[in-house]
Structure 1
Amino acid sequence: MKLVKKHTMDKLEHYSTEQLIDYLEGRLDDSSSAELSQHLESGCMVCNDATTTYRRMLSAIETLHQKSPSYSAHKKVIQAYSDRYASKPKIRWQPYLRPAFISFTVLVLITFVFLFNLNPSVVYAGYLENVTGQVEMFNPTTGSWDSISTGQSVPVDATIRTLTESKATLKFPGGEQTILGSNSEVDLLRLTQTNGLWEITLELMNGQTENQTAQDTDSFSVRTQTGIAHSDNAHFVMKIFSDGSAETRVLEGQVEVRTQSQSKKIHSGETTIFPSPNSSNLLPDKNEDYFEFVPKPSTEGSETEEMTVTPTGTPKDNFKPTRTPTPRITPISSIPTNSSENSTNSDIDCSPGSSDGAGNSENASNSDKACK
């Protein structure tokens, strides 16, 4: 480093502080360092005093840089600290707790996967078609009956009814349908889909319904106070009479009728009667089979003119019982036929219009003989 500038003071040339410090720390080149040394030796009091002061400052600064302790000293300090502040023992898992921890982790993962893949439940509903006359739906909020029309949806737990000279068709997403006759009332209890198959449950309180299953029907049930009719491939009619008894008529296919204690399958053209819950007839012996059906096939294609669909062409041999709760009812009574030689005629109502007598056109041939 060359000396490029000097300060002039009292007509004498003096070196700057930077130049003097560089000289003391050896950062000047040889010629500059020799020139500054000659200047100090010439007796310049200002530069000599400054140089002495800067030298003492540099010496003091060097004493601030402490050296790191030796390895042995460092080891002694660590040992003294360890003796005074003992380390806490580490908590380790006990061997018998590991299976429980693993099981808990797996359970949490399974729960998370289940909740992640859980789909929100879908709410299905039926809808009305071919509404004739006055049809109403019960409003649970107001406790009154509201008029409904074609195209209106019928959700689960809804109750609909038809008044005098009124009819309506209740259709379902799977293609099933129920035709309500005049002065009829039904409650849609269940409408669900599982693996593409539909489960439907109705409760008939009054009147008559004509029910038609579809190809994707897994279970179609109609409940009454006296019994249940169930099918997955049938066209059948349920009717409640004024005395509380109920009739099941199979137009096509197969229907299982059951009470709390008995169950029986009836086929196309056969009819069975659920006796009134207020009936005073004595129950038969438990070993007696008293399911008797009309063997003559029905000559009427439909009870209701509006029924236009045809039953599915894919028979289902395996019967799948409904999961509808069993009602508290009385057993199914038999319909006497000419083949029952030991049956008594005292229980047969031969008045016109009775389902047990000649008033039923389908059973007329058998009823005439029974009433003689």
Structure 2
Amino acid sequence: MGKGEMERLNQILTGHLTNIHETLQILDQTPASSLRKVSWDEVIKVGEQLSKNATTAGMLFTGEKTKVRALEENMEAYFNGLQGLLLLAYGSTVGAGPTLSSNIHASIKQVVDSSFLLWRECVASYGGPHGSSEQQTTIPRLAGTVWEACSALKKTPATNIVAIGRAMTRIAVSMKDVLREMKELEPCSSDPTGEAESQALESNDVDADDEFGKDLSPEEMKVAQLAIGVVSEAIIVIKELIRSITGLLKKENLRDEQDGVEYLEKLLKLCRSIGVQVDELGACLYPPQEFSAIAESCKEMSNLIDEVGKELDNLNGSIEAFSKGCKSLHNALEMLQIETSASVVADAIPQNSSDMVEQMQNLAVQD
């Protein structure tokens, strides 16, 4: 094809890409409450049509050579559809909180990015040999990426409750990972001489992935077991919180998009903070254990649980199972705090009276 035709195609594509990029920016803005709320089903429907258009674009490079005009027409139809998808997606964010809006933006961005890659390749390939093996593999693959991105729209949460519930579920999964690592901690060998460990090292019978410093003293193991109980109870509380929130829809206490979004987002923020404390707690269990940090983490987690209960009460969503879980978690936290406090005191006391006498004799008395 002529150089002029190729330049024209590139100019047309650049115009489409610029227009879509500018339209995409509106998804970062909060729509006015007076704007018509768009159902996510409408977005999915347009996405399905867009995936068909992507397939059509990929077929342009099979069979007979396509004329420039046909490519231009397909490009225009495709980007008009993509423009419509973005505007509908923006309308679907009416009443959406930050979490739902973030999910929608991420899903739409995947469609846009995959579309850009497809059409850049289509235009770049048009000037090359028609029907080449590269065209017949690269372009259909990119069209398939668009299809996957459009199909993923069906899995995008359509409501605040679903979006926030999924985010809380991910926090619970992360906490389970911490719990699993906690359970891998083991007590130190009963061999007082350490002969068994020394022999294992000398015989190279040690996994290269094994971590040093994971074996705990009996006192540290007791703290670890109590910490395992805390994290187990915390996971239960998060699960019951999710059940409480999803139950609000069934009770019609929450109309999802407008009512209670602020409280739901606060609950998610609190859950994330609890997840951070669980991470901190897990990190403190490796020897030498940081008893003061563990006690501080317990105090912070206890306060966070109280805040969660208050925010859930604001939604009239508290249930008996959640309250029971909070009580069990508070009990587990109290037991761990007591144990760590005792350990801090024990560490501060000299091993025997002779140690104390020696320390007193070493004191310098100033005149």
Fold match (TM-score > 0.5) = no
Instruction: Give the structure-2-normalised TM-score.
Output: 0.26
Structure with greater proportional helix content: 2
Q: In proportion to residue count, which structure has more strand? A: 1
Larger RCO of the pair (alpha carbons < 8 Å, separation 6+): 2
